[in-house]
Amino acid sequence: MRDLGKVYMTQGIDIARKESEEFAENVDVALARFQVNDWGDISENDAKANNEDIAVSENVCGAYYTCKGKIWITTDFYSRNDYEKHVGKIPESDIRERIPVTTILWPYEH
């Protein structure tokens, strides 16, 4: 399983998870699939691009159908400098050049 970094969800996803146990389970399953590079319901070309991009720490996106419609899960890779500006302090033990941050969102929130 690959490192997703910090995992965030938008307010819309968070509210929907609190309203529906089934949706919360759907999101958990989608995140587990994403973590093992199962990109969900995307084209073969997009899946191939994700597999190439993840190997060099480039941004990737998966799409998954849930009981409330499609969700997206993205991982963006930040340089160390940008990570500290936008996300927070990097632990001293983390020596990676590019650090992942994963977000769960509705497609219209992108």
Note whether residue 26 is domain-resident.
Answer: yes
pLDDT reading at 1 higher than 70: no
Note whether residue 92 is domain-resident.
Answer: no
Range 75-85 average pLDDT: 90
Note whether residue 94 is domain-resident.
Answer: no
Residue 28 is predicted with a pLDDT of 98
Q: Binning pLDDT at 50, 70 and 90, where does residue 51 land?
A: very high
H-type alpha helices, 1-108: 11-19, 21-35, 44-55, 80-86
Note whether residue 77 is domain-resident.
Answer: yes
Total domain count, the chain: 1
Q: For residue 51, what are the domain limits?
A: 7-86
Range 32-46 average pLDDT: 96
Note whether residue 2 is domain-resident.
Answer: no
